[in-house]
Structure 1
Amino acid sequence: MDAYKPVVHGALDEAELARLGLRADHLIDFSSNINPFGPPESVLQALRTLNPAPYPDRSCLHLRRHLAAIHHCQPEAVLVGNGANELIHLVARALGEPGATALVVAPTYGEYAYASHLAGMRVIEIRSTVGNGFQPDLAELLLTIERLRPRLIWLCSPNNPTGVNLSVTTITELAHTCALHQGWLILDRAYLALGRDETGHDPLDHNSPSRLIRIYSLTKSYAVAGLRIGYMIADPDVIAATARFQPAWSVSSAAQAAAAAMLHDTGFLATTLPALWDASSELAQNLRQIGLTVWRAHLPFMLVHCDNAALTRQQLLVRGCVVRDCTSFGLPEWVRVAPRRPSENARLLAAWRDVHARTQV
């Protein structure tokens, strides 16, 4: 695969739809891991009252102060970005070194490898499989770190696309091993807030090892992916080194206003997450009743086994439903499905029953 080829993502692609003669407003998107019960009214109100004339706050000072209070750190330990994706690329540029090794714990989000390649790094994957419950082999990971001494180690937990969540003990042990060999553990926490037992706090706030960098997203749980807002937490010197690569005004006034509204809205996640998990459980059960194999772990989205992920996606797409072909994750026999509201899930089930019935003929 071309290391510099753009990464495949979920969500609706207007160029693809135009080629197929389809309209986005006729489709239901199950390919994006976004809370279907958002955005909250508090965010919409903040956007309605926003004055778009002034430049944004370049340093996101007020937002960083709020995030620092949540995570029990200094504002200097927080960097706000144009989505978690920007931060991934900034970290790779700031800390990566041409010719050095980047270790990716896979299957996982494709931008880690892409950003590392763009920084001139050699990318090595260590993969888990469904046979071991998509659980990374900790012993193998530690030995690989000791052998390769990677400059960057990319870990997504809870993981996209498998939903597997590693314990704080495991993450801490990995971070300590990275530190022993002068590496950095970059931990993607983009989906932490969607966990069934979400508390609003990351247990790593109280036990964050050195050389651990944590990246968070605010767009998934609050359904504001179009605004692009994320942040990272690390030692202040790492934040300063990373911020040097960030363009001025990277985070818009709209994104900052929406983030402030989200963080002050304490009721939205408490209300919607139980409904999201109920919808997820019902959808998984109904998919299994069709005869499909479903994998779901610590997140509401799920993997569904099929003979050919690309074909299954196409068959469902022409029936009005978009799922995520996981071939780009190295899982060509799986599609990822993010639950939506019950009425929308019913449309997906009807489409899948039709596909399944036709393949059984």
Structure 2
Amino acid sequence: MDQFERLSQLPLRDDLRGQHPYGAPQLDVPILLNVNENTFGVPLDAKEAILKAVADELDGLNRYPDREFTELRRALAAYLGHGLVAENIWAANGSNEVLQQLLQAFGGPGRIAMGFPPTYSMYPLLASGTGTAYAAGVRGAGFSLSAQSAGEQVQALAPNVVFLCSPNNPTGTVLGLDVVEAVYEAGEASSAIVIVDEAYAEFAHAGTPSALNLLEGRPRLVVSRTMSKAFALAGARVGYLASAPEVTDAIRLVRLPYHLSAITQATAVAALRNSDALLANVEAIKVQRDRIVDELGQMGLRPAPSDSNFVLFGGMADPSSVWEKLLADGVLIRDVGIPGHLRVTAGTEAETSAFLNGMRDILAK
């Protein structure tokens, strides 16, 4: 009897039977470009500041941390700007937990969450885990989503929660603020919470507006962010949101007590105080991202325009074979399940060159 069969014999919830957990391959290869990590790592000066901040917390680890993580909320508000204050901010162990807490508060049995695939694959899993039904909208050509189409779909379905990912994962494309406005207005009848997931916002091209600009006067709008990508802190697990204060009050009803450890809080605050050093690599990553788009296009492939730290590209008859051949060369990228497509993270110049050279060799053969 295999592990899956043993699991099926437990009194599992009916809606979880047959489901598979989220997970990208974790393989030991030289070049990891599959889960959109910041491959540049933490700069030395920021690392030293984080080490000191963590060391300062060690004597107090016998006590519970600040349940309201007040210093971190103030630091995040200052980082985001837009007139935000601590009362507008919430944080948790990665943006996945932020989204989960939002569904715990505003989703649940008898309620519907909506997304527009292809998009972040955790949305339906988070919905399932909270007993929330999940409905999939549709996109137009080139993974586009217009204000009119999005608004009409939301109005027709009347969901309780709507996920808008911008830049979108796995396509890398951004949404216009008119889409957010249209969805918000269309969700008025069902009092829908509209979540704009901006996990990759720092990598957007200059001049790309954030949904943070729309928060004022929209109490059902939430903007979710993370420190995993631009801040190179995927291992620290820090995600956060900005919203009207009443949204954070709602999350307090479902959060676990002391959910952010003192170590997590100290790490995040120190990182924010050294944001210039940590974010310096963002521009270098964007250069490699644009290089991938340009060079894959020159190879005759079809890369999607990207405002993220990754590129989705199509034009392959057998993407699984391409994935396997790259892996054999020590380069791990991601098969996201879109026919004819693969996704690659923009890494360092050397990592990006290894990927592009590998693609040239594969196409030449």
Q: TM-score, normalised by structure 2?
A: 0.85
Q: Deviations over 1:186-243 (max 9, x none)?
A: 1111111111217997642664522112211011001110110011122222212212
C-alpha contact (below 8 Å) 2:158/2:189 kept by paired residues: no
Q: 2:328 aligns with which of 300, 318, 323?
A: 318
- Mapped to 1, the partners of 2:48 and 2:148 lie a distance apart of 49
Which residue, out of 275, 291, 294, partners 2:303? Answer: 294
Q: Structure 1, unaligned stretches of length 5 or more?
A: 18-23
Letter paired with 2:332:
V
State the shift of 1:264 in Å: 2.0
Q: Offset of 1:102 from its aligned partner? A: 1.6
Which one of 99, 105, 111 corresponds to residue 100 of structure 1? Answer: 111
Aligned to 2:272: 263
Are the aligned partners of 2:112 and 2:161 in contact in 1 as well (CA < 8 Å)? yes
Worse overlay, 154-163 or 168-177: 168-177
Aligned to 1:253: 262
Q: Measure how far apart 1:82 and its partner are.
A: 0.2
1:266 Cα deviation after fit: 4.5
What is the one-letter code of the residue matched to 1:296? P
Matches within 5 A, 1:11-160: 13=26, 17=27, 24=28, 26-49=29-52, 50-51=54-55, 52-53=58-59, 54=61, 55-69=64-78, 70-129=81-140, 132-160=141-169
Deviation readout 1:69-112 (Å, 9 max, x if unpaired)? 33423422211100001111111111113122221122111111
Q: Distance in 2 between matches of 1:27 and 1:157?
A: 30
Can you give the 5+ residue segments of structure 2 that lack an aligned partner in the other structure? 1-13
* 2:218 is aligned with 1:209: yes
Is the Cα contact below 8 Å between 1:34 and 1:222 reproduced in 2? no
Aligned equivalent of 1:336: 343
Aligned-partner Cα distance in 2 for 1:123–1:68: 31
Give the Å deviation of 1:9.
4.1
- On the 8 A contact 1:194/1:221 being kept in 2, the answer is yes
- The one-letter code sitting in structure 2 at the alignment partner of 1:261 is A
Partner residue, 2:360: 353
Letter in 2 for 1:323: I
Q: What are the within-5 Å matches in structure 2 for residues 150-299 of structure 1?
A: 150-197=159-206, 203-204=212-213, 207=216, 209-268=218-277, 271-299=280-308
Contact 2:172 2:312 in 1 (8 A): no
1:302-346 per-residue CA deviation (whole Å, 9 max, x = no partner) reads 11212233333222112101111110xxx1321111111111112
Match of 1:225, SS state, is coil
Deviation at 1:262, TM superposition (A): 2.7
Q: Which residue identity is paired with 1:196?
A: H
Q: 2:339 and 2:168 mapped to 1: Cα distance?
A: 18
Distance 1:44 1:248 in 2: 29
Cα pair 1:175 1:210 within 8 Å, conserved: no
Retained in 2: the 8 A contact 1:97–1:151?
no
What letter corresponds to residue 312 of structure 1 in structure 2?
V
> Aligned partners of 1:161, 1:6: CA distance in 2, in Å?
19
TM value normalised by structure 1:
0.86
Task: Decide whether aligned partners of structure 1 residues 116 and 60 sit closer, same or farther in structure 2, where only a CA change above 3 A counts.
Answer: same
Describe the superposition over 1:1-50 as per-residue Cα deviations: whole angstroms up to 9, x where unpaired.
Answer: x974345444x51xxx4xxxxxx2x4211112233333233431133222
- Output the CA distance in 2 between the equivalents of 1:186 and 1:307: 35
Query: Residues 100 and 292 of structure 1: is their aligned pair in 2 closer, same or farther, counting only changes over 3 Å?
Result: same
Kindly tell me: are residues 66 and 146 of structure 1, through their superposed partners in 2, closer, same or farther at Cα, counting changes over 3 Å?
same
Deviations 1:139-192 (A, max 9, x none): 232222222211111111111111221222331232122123311111111111
Contact between 1:56 and 1:253, CA under 8 Å: does it hold in 2? yes
Name the amino acid aligned to 2:363.
H
Q: Matched residues in 2 for 1:283 and 1:270: separation?
A: 21
- Matched pairs, number: 341
Measure, in 2, the Cα distance between the counterparts of 1:355 and 1:252: 46
Alpha-carbon distance in structure 2 between the residues aligned to 1:202 and 1:153: 14
Q: Work out whether residues 222 and 243 of structure 2, in 8 Å CA contact, stay in contact via their aligned partners in 1.
A: yes
Once the 2 structures are TM-superposed, how far is the Cα of residue 285 of structure 1 from its aligned partner?
2.5
Task: Give the percent of matched residue pairs that are identical in Structure 1 and Structure 2.
Answer: 27
When the two chains are superposed, the root-mean-square deviation of aligned CA atoms in Å is 2.5
Structure 1 equivalent of residue 11 of structure 2:
none
